Structure formats: C-alpha cells, structure tokens
A and B are shown apart, each in its own frame.
Chain A
Amino acid sequence: MMKRTLMTSLSLVLALGLAACGNGNSGGNATEGKGDGAKAGSGEKTKISYWTGDRHDADFVKEKVAEFNASNKDGIEVELVVKGDDFDTALDLSFQTSDAPDVIRVKENTVQTFYKKGFLAPIDEFLNDELKAKFPAMPDLNEFDGKRYSLPNYGTTMRLVYNKDLFAKAGIEHPPTTLQELVDTAKKLTAAGKADGAYGFALNFKSPGSAFARSARVVAEMSGYGGFGYDFKTARYDFSGFEPIINAFKQIKDDGSMLPGVESLDIDPLRAQFAEGKIGMYMSYSSEPGVYKNQFPAKIDWAAAPVPTIDGNVKGASGFLGGQWLALSSKTEHKEAAWKFMEFMYGDQVLTDYQEKGFGISMVPSISAAAKTPDVNGIEGFLPNKNDGVWPVYPSVAPEGMKSDDAFFKYMLNGGDLKAIIADLNKRYNAALDSVIANDGVKAEPDAGFDPAALGGKFAK
C-alpha cells in the first residue's frame, strides 16, 4: 500500500514538474505543418510567425496580415506577434528554445546585433534586378559582408519641434538656425510664457542617452560631426564637436529657460506638456506627428523645422534613420513561405499605404516620389529634404566609466571643465575602441575622403 502511494506521489510530482518546465515551449509559433510542402489542396496550412516590436503601426500591420492570410493561394497563414519593450529579450529567448519566429522586425539599432547573433538569413536568393533597383542597399544597415538581410520601408527624420502659438506670442517669426539663436529664442519664449507655466526648451533628461540622441546628436550631424562622437575620417572617437552644443544646452538651463524638472522628465510626459502648450521647443524624431494625432492630441498649433547648426552652416546631414524593416529568421523552416509574406509586405500597395496613412516616412525613393503627403498635422516638416542623409554605422563600444551622455548631463547640472571632460571621454572611448578592434574583430578604418555634406540629397533634392 505504502509503495503504491509512494509511486503515485512520485509520478504526480514528476508530472507537475515536467509540466512546469515544458511550459515555455508549448506557446508561441505553431509549426505543425512542417516543410513548405503543405500546400493548399491538402487543406493543411503553412504557419509562419512574424514578430514585431512596433506598436504605432500594429493595427495597420494586423490588417495587412489578415489581407495576406485571406488572399494568398499558397496556404500560408501568418501569425502576428506584437511584443512590447521586451522584444529583444523575448527574441533572444526564442532562439535559445528553438521557438524562433520566421520573420523578424529589425531596426537600425538592433539589426547589427541580430546579424552578429546569427538570427538572420540573407535574402539575396529572392532578390531580382527589379527589387535590387527599387530598394537601396545600405551597408551595415541592411547589408552585411556583401549580403542583403532586409529592405527599407520607412525611416525616421529628426527635427526641431516648436510651438507656433508661443512663438507668435513672443513675437518670434522663424525657428532658430544657430545655437546662439536657440539660446536667445528659448529665453524670449520663457519670458513670454512663464506666467502661464510655459518655458522655452525641454528635453527628456530622465534618460540623458535618449535626450541627447534626439538633440545634440542631430545638431552635431547637421554641423558635420558624427552624432555619436565617432569621426569617420580618422576612425577615432572625438567628442570635441559637442562642446558648443552642450554649452548651449547648459546656457538654456542656467538662464532658466528650460522647463523645470527636466531631470526626471521622460519623453511621453514631455510630449504631454508640449501638447498642453507648456514647452516652446524640443528636438525629436518623426514619430511626433503621429503622437500628437493619436496619443496626446495637441491643443496648440505646432510645426517642425530643421534643427539648428552650430554656426548656421550645414556641413553635414540630418541623420535619416532606417534602411531595414522585415528580415528572415535563420531558423525558419519555411523560407519560401516567409519570403512570400515579405514580398507581399514590400509591395507598392502596402508601402504606399504605410506612408500615406502617416505611419512613417518612406525611405524607398520610388514610393516617396509617388505617395501623397500623409494626412497628419505637422508631418510635412518631417518629410525628407536635401539635408537628410543616412550616416554610416559607427562601431559601438562599451567604455569603462561614465557614458558620454551622462557625463555631458552631469556637466549641464554641476558645471566643471567641459574640455577636460571631452578629453577624458575621447581617451576612454578610444581605449574601448582599440579593445573591440583587437579582440572582437571590429573593423574601424579611416576614410580621409569622407564628406558628411555629401550624405544629403539622396532622398530629396
């Protein structure tokens, strides 16, 4: 009797334990129909999964996926999985548990990593001459070691967003074009708006990395400096181009023209404040018009203008981010079916709709030439102009000690010797660069003929 009880309890706990362990594998993409041989007629569907971290276009993509599922004659069924902030982690896990998606949304800041991790499969075998001519190849953004891994759909431009009502109230006619004008304008706007709680300038300094990536970076790029401190001419890190920019931001803070509490300000609360008319200017990505249409309906009249440069002369290009959208997973068992879905998504109809409905600014020249301006207030300021261009990819490093953004923000709050801070950053970032060159096979070769001013003009004249 005792023995039976023992065996029963043992099997029970084992079963429970196994059920708990096995849980991770039971969800996610179903791959019942193995191989692409499962075609219509046999009644069996080829199921593929598409994972994206994008939420702004989720409804649109859902609609298109449903359209594809209903219309394709190959018996392919796409399952759309929209992940939140945990997209990268979830993808890492999925590749470790052989539960990986078949098609993956890649972005400019993840594509290199995913490529290096071996998550992506090249798509060259599917690219005919027509597709090659239609979609620009961008080294390190959709092309690695001569092989293509993705194609562009939309890209992100960067602009100065400004409150037209507050500008009118302060009697200012044009958005600033130099750093000095930026400082002066912020001061005037604050003087005009302070009584109603409005200030001239703001950035989301809760995360200095995010704040500077949408501001100092693009001012540097327009002025001819690598936006992340990397100099493509010498293949070394050199942050000296940031000195006037950080000093201008500090001046705005010291003048009291910065919205109080920026230290703990995130981007969404910043947008909420801007929509209420409490902020005169800030710099950000082309996702803003969509935000003010859907998320925080703007109560003010606003517009976007090119970001100011250090001295008013454009010596570089405003970074147009993107170059990739969908990619094939290296682990897919349904390569053909997955490509058929990608082919559908990259069709003129979907891409044109994407731009016209205002989800993003097309990076495909043939589409942006033909598509209508999206019906989203403020987006016209973000459409590509002659100064928008794609910068080459800089080698990312993990320096010892404080990151550049934190060091710069610390200087903005506490003061100090900016030249010494920059010298220290250069030293630490170059040491880290030497280390990745020596140990991780990263290539960083000087390009003496590199001309930042020549980057613009490829998407609009």
Chain B
Amino acid sequence: MNKTKHALFSYSFIFPSALLTLVLGIYPIAWAFRYMFYDYKGFGTARFTGLANFSRILKDTQFWDSVVNTFVYAGGKLLITIPLALLLAAILNRGLRGRQLLRGIFFMPTVISTAVMAVVFFTIFNSYNGILNQFLIRSGLSDSGVDWLGPKYAMLTVILVAAWGAVGNYMLLFLAGLQNIPEDVYEASSLDGAGKIQQFRYITLPMLGPVMQMVIMLAIITALKGYESIMVLTEGGPVGKTEVMFLYLYKLFFPVGGGSAAVQVQEFGYGSAVAFVSAVIVGMISLIYFYASRRMNQTD
C-alpha cells in the first residue's frame, strides 16, 4: 500500500470519532467560551457584557467557598483512597485464597451508578431514621444519633462515600501495575535477605512509579470534578458546607429547589465564565502535580 492510500485508510477510521468529538466535544466548549462574555439566561437575546462575569467571580464568595470545599473534598478523598487502594492491591496481588472473588467485591462499587450509590448511602447516613444512627442508638453507643449530614459532619460523610466508590477502581489499576513487576526481582532480593516491608519500600513502590503517577493524576482530576454523589446526599448543604465547585456550577445552569411558584433563573453566561475558571483551576492543579511528580517516573 502506498503512503497516500495508507493515510487515507487511517483517516477514514479517525473521521467518525473526530466528527463526533467536534460536534459533541469541541463545539459545546466553543459555545460556552463565547457566552462567558455575555449576560445570557437561556432565552431572549444574549447581551455582551465584556469581562463583567469575571469581575463578578472575583467578588463571588459562594464560588470561592466552593473552591475551598473542593480542595478539602478532593484532598480528603485522595488521602483515603490512594493508600487504601494500594494496600488492597498489594494484598490481593499475593497468593491469597479467593482473591478473584475479593477483587470483584472491591471493584463492584465502581460499576454502580454514582446516583444510585448515593441514594443507598443516604438511607445509611440520614439523621432521622438512617441505618447507622438506628444502630448507634439501639446498641447504646449514642443517645440521639449523630447528625451525619448536618453542618459538622456532612463533609466527612461525603468524602467517605466518595472514597468508597473510588477505591476499587484505583485498586484495579494498581493491581495491573503490580503484575507488571517481574517476580524474579523479588526472588533476587529475598536471596539478598530483604524482608516484605523492605521489598515493598525498595522494589514495589519505585517500580510502580509510572502507574502511581497516572493513578494519582486521574484521582486528582476526578476528585476535583466530582459532585454527583454530593448532589444526592446533601445538595451542597447544609448552607453550602459541602458545595463543591462543579456543583455550584451545575446549579447555575440547572437551578434546583425553589418550590412550586418560584421561577428559576438559569445563568448560562455567568455559568460559562464559572465553568472556564473552574476548568483553569483543575488544569493548574493537574499541571502542578504533573511537574512535581515527574520523579515518580524515574524507575531506575
């Protein structure tokens, strides 16, 4: 096959997905990009307002609170998820009986829809008749239960739920990484007298570097963008305690609540600007991480 034909052949395969990406991926972004500079409520005429949306963002304490909440949420989720996923992967990588079954069990939460998972957790954590509080009260551990979704513990609760949903996924990626480490390296090290902990510290961790870098990167981006389970569990409440960046953004496009007679005002223009700023924040964090973590790549 000559070169032109080969190229044509390749492009014919790329074309459909490139077209879909263009229509469903690039076009909406360009659309939002344009409306960042407009006052647009979803209908009627869009009014050009220049940088007004951005100066509003600077003053928007609700947005900046949500940014702080996002960092707390993402940080908490990572602190629980990554070590736990690594630990589980390391255990399941050993010749444990029934490990196939255990892998399936740990991976299962990843398959369940986030909204369904959050509904289930709501029945566990809700304060007035949740399973957890009923257990605490009936076993005498607490008099009136704990307000799991109240102002004090809501963030902790949403972090725990998010970690539960994510850990299986990262465990699987770590497992794949672990299985790529040749067995003879371990054999050689044990002949030299290295113990399990030393092996983990000096062989497993460094050789898992590239996988680890990718997993953490993925985890950071996912955690910064996550909001679905929070929406079901608390809707960002109480009083914004669990409102993360992308939930705040979602509500600008699709306002929730408000009761029967309240007319909801969608803010497509301001929402687009907030979306852009949020994307820049996620991008910046990812870049910072990427440069800081290049060391992990050096496996030698």
Contacts and interface: CB of A to CB of B under 8 A. Distances in A.
| Smallest CB-CB A-B distances: 9 pairs | A213-B259, A261-B127, A207-B257, A264-B149, A209-B257, A263-B238, A396-B263, A398-B265, A17-B16
A264 B9 contact: no
B12 A10 contact: yes
Contacts of A20: 20
Given A13-B16, A228-B262, 17 more contacts: A2-B9, A13-B13, A14-B15, A14-B16, A16-B16, A17-B20, A21-B20, A205-B237, A207-B256, A208-B239, A213-B258, A228-B261, A261-B128, A264-B126, A269-B126, A273-B129, A413-B239
A206 interface: yes
A217 B258 CA distance: 11
* Residues of B contacting A: mostly: loop
Given A261-B150, A263-B238, A413-B151, A439 B265 contact: no
Interface string A292-311: 00000000000000000000
A406 interface: yes
Contacts of A273: 128-129
Nearest to B2: A2
Given A13-B16, A117-B43, A409-B239, A109 B265 contact: no
Interface stretch (B55-63, B103-111, B190-198): B55-63
Interface residues of A, number: 61
Interface string B128-145: 110000000000000011
Contact of A414 (B39, B59, B239): B239
Contacts of A92: 42
8 contacts: A6-B8, A10-B15, A263-B154, A264-B126, A264-B154, A269-B128, A400-B56, A401-B62
Interface string A316-332: 00010100000000000
Contacts of B20: 17, 20-21
Nearest to A112: B263
A259 interface: yes
B47 interface: yes
Contacts of A25: none
Nearest to A116: B43
Contacts of B60: 400-401
A259 B39 CA distance: 41
Interface of A: 2-3, 6, 9-10, 13-14, 16-17, 20-21, 89, 92, 107-109, 112-113, 116-118, 156, 205-210, 212-214, 217, 227-228, 259-261, 263-265, 269, 273, 278, 285, 319, 321, 396-398, 400-402, 405-406, 409-410, 413-414, 435, 439-440
B119 to A, nearest CB: 11
Given A2-B5, A413-B238, A439 B47 contact: yes
Nearest to B137: A197
Contacts of B270: 398
Contacts of B233: 264
